[in-house]
């Protein structure tokens, strides 16, 4: 047992893997024969993963509302990769039945009858901007704000997550995820990869709905990584910075004109490392512009032009959650235990009398 494991037992209990180092190597051969479901796979990051993982020999079933783009991509990738196990199906992630059908199709098309990994990738920005700009609400029957962004970026992700937990734990031939597993001998997997954003931890002006949705995805990830291990599933999170993909609309591009943005290639690289390596459990990274950064004397990160400092685009975030959580829990539990000791049996008896009185009062009132 390491010092960290001994000091922070929650890390051991939830099966979290050690902190990551970036850049790191990705062995795409570990993707071979994995069955992966991707939502929002017709463009952007999803397209990048479809191409790369199919080329590595994975079976890909991806959904999107873009039927023309998705069908064309599947046909092209099958031809280029010589991998016939690349399938596109229409999927509206805001529609529960549509997602159910995508997962059922994935099971039907799976060479081994199961699903090894799910990527909750579908997402949009808020193009309506109605939440912060209410109009005509003094009308007799005012309309609600447009919540398409929240429905795709949060409700859709929750649907995907719900289905993923059901199917991943039932993946034939799979074993509970573990950071001690041997990747060369792990043929099956149980992996849920969530896609957040820099908006998961930073505000983006005018994008309240998008930010609220992505903050919620971060909350979903942080909660599930402390409990999803009971299903033998590993969960990870990617949080890309502004990247040149279809989700970055014209106004966003105008605001960022002249600024440094991230690349799709770095996001695809980070996602591929998470997907290929079954030892990565409960980790999150932010992907931004590739920069040369070092720590100064105070420990703060600063930009540098030193050639010996390798440029870096992928950074781990929320790496020490469980250490902090464990300290908090131990302190609170310790305080409560100490308070109980001080009150002794008299305090316990007083509380029990109070509880009984509360119950009798409820019965007397007919509740």
DSSP letter at 151 equals I
Residue 162, helix vs strand vs coil: helix
Active site includes 104?
no
Neighbours of 167 (CB within 10 A): 19
Long-range interactions of 217-224: CB distance < 8 A, separation 24+? 217/153, 217/154, 217/157, 218/284, 218/318, 220/157, 220/158, 220/161, 220/194, 221/194, 221/196, 221/284, 222/318, 222/321, 224/161, 224/192
Q: Say how far apart CA 27 and CA 9 lie, in whole Å.
A: 30
Catalytic residue among 34, 159, 214, 318: 214
Q: Are 35 and 115 contacting, i.e. CB atoms less than 8 angstroms apart?
A: yes
Catalytic residue among 8, 159, 167, 210: 210
Active site includes 34?
no
Report residue 315 as tokens: 């950074």
Report residue 202 as tokens: 């930073």
Active site amino acids: 210, 214
């Amino acid at each position: 047992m390491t010092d960290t494991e001994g000091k922070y037992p929650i890390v051991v209990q939830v099966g979290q893997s050690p902190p990551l180092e970036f850049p790191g190597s990705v062995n795409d051969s570990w993707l071979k024969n994995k069955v992966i479901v991707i939502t929002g796979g017709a463009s952007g990051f999803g397209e990048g993963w479809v191409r790369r993982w199919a080329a590595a020999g994975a079976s890909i079933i991806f959904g999107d509302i873009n039927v023309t783009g998705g069908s064309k991509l599947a046909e092209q990738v099958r031809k280029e990769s010589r991998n016939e196990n690349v399938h596109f199906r229409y999927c509206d992630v805001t529609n529960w039945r549509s997602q159910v059908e995508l997962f059922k199709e994935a099971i039907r098309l799976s060479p081994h009858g199961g699903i090894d990994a799910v990527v909750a990738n579908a997402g949009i920005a808020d193009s309506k901007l109605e939440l912060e700009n209410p109009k005509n609400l003094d009308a007799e029957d005012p309309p609600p704000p447009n919540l398409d962004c929240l429905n795709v970026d949060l409700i859709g992700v929750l649907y995907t997550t719900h289905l993923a937990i059901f199917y991943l734990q039932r993946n034939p031939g799979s074993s509970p995820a573990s950071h001690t597993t041997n990747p060369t001998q792990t043929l099956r997997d149980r992996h849920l990869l969530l896609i957040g954003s820099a908006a998961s931890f930073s505000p983006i002006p005018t994008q309240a709905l998008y930010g609220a949705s992505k903050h919620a995805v971060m909350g979903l990830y942080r909660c599930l990584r402390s409990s999803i291990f009971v299903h033998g599933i590993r969960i990870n999170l990617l949080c890309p910075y502004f990247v040149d993909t279809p989700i970055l609309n014209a106004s966003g591009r105008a605001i960022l004109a002249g600024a440094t943005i991230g690349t799709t290639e770095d996001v695809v690289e980070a996602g591929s490392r998470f997907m290929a390596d079954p030892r990565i459990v409960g980790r999150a990274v932010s992907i931004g512009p590739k920069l040369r950064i070092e720590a100064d004397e105070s420990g703060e990160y600063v930009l540098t032009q030193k050639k010996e400092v390798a440029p870096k685009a992928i950074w781990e975030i929320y790496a020490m959650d469980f250490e902090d959580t464990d300290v908090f829990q131990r302190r609170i539990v310790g305080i409560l235990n100490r308070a109980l000791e001080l009150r002794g049996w008299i305090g316990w008896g007083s509380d029990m009398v109070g509880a009984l009185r509360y119950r009798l009062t409820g019965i007397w009132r007919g509740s």
